[in-house]
Structure 1
Amino acid sequence: MIRATLTAALVLSAGMAGAQAINDYPTNARADYVFVCMATNGQTREMLERCSCAIDQIAEILSYDDYVKAETVLAMRQTAGERAGIFRQGIAVNDIVANFRRAEAEAEILCF
């Protein structure tokens, strides 16, 4: 009886650890994405659902760390000056943005 209970507890905790690894985006990052998406596409209940779906799909493809890197590169590309120039060129930054764009495209296909 104790062994069965312990085994069940271990299985549940392993499943929760896996879910946390997949769901590593903080709520405020997801909400921020949804707010921007809705501002762009319309502030309706349908867009709330579609934009929420999109960030969920992106989260399944990209780790939160990769998402933050992509957002940083895209934000820095909007700034002027020589210092921001390193964010506009180079294989590493282009790969980061390309991975993010692919995740967005897949999310758009699935959710919109």
Structure 2
Amino acid sequence: MTRRAIWALSAVFALSLSVASTARVLAEELPANDYPTEARADYVFACMEVNGRSREILGKCSCSIDQIAAILPWDEYEQAETLMSVGLRGGENVAWTKSPKMQEKINNLKRAQVEGELRCF
């Protein structure tokens, strides 16, 4: 092997280590994006139904769900959404959704939604 080939291989190896190291650091800095795409799309669709159907509102609604996702892990979001949905039915069968523990989950979602609105709208 010539000197030039050895130097080129060394440079490629060093570059690949640098890229791998940078990717690892970036992955550690970014929060986990664990909200399913369909859930994000549902949120944006509902948000646009309430606020209007424009490109500007699309951006604001997308920003809002991103803020919620940064605050609330997916499993907590899903639980709170389910509780809110079940609670809307009313009656004795859903009285358990009014317990303090369940209401705290709903309140956490509402606080995250308010934060999203404040930052994005």
CA contact (8 A) 2:31 2:70 kept: no
Q: What SS does the aligned partner of 1:79 have? A: coil
CA distance, structure 1, for counterparts of residue 86 and residue 55 of structure 2: 32
**Normalising to structure 1: TM-score of the pair?**
0.85
Q: Any gaps of 5 or more consecutive residues in structure 2?
A: 1-9
**Normalising to structure 2: TM-score of the pair?**
0.80
Runs of 4+ more than 3 Å apart: 1-8, 17-20
> Match for 1:55 among 49, 65, 71?
65
Shift of 1:20: 6.1
Shift of 1:5: 3.3
Q: How many residue pairs are counted as aligned between the two chains?
A: 110
CA distance, structure 1, for counterparts of residue 31 and residue 71 of structure 2: 14
Please give the root-mean-square deviation of Cα atoms over the aligned residues, in Å.
1.9
Q: Which has the larger radius of gyration?
A: 2
Q: Deviations over 1:52-102 (max 9, x none)?
A: 010000010000111101100100111133221111x21111110111111
Match of 1:104 in 2: 113
Q: Does the C-alpha gap of structure 1 residues 26 and 18 become closer, same or farther in structure 2, counting only changes over 3 Å?
A: farther
Shift of 1:26: 1.0
* 1:1-112 superposed matches below 5 A: 1=10, 2=13, 5-6=16-17, 8-13=19-24, 15-16=26-27, 19=30, 21=32, 23-87=33-97, 89-112=98-121
Q: Any gaps of 5 or more consecutive residues in structure 1?
A: none
CA contact (8 A) 2:83 2:106 kept: yes
The residue type equivalent to 1:101 in the other structure is: K
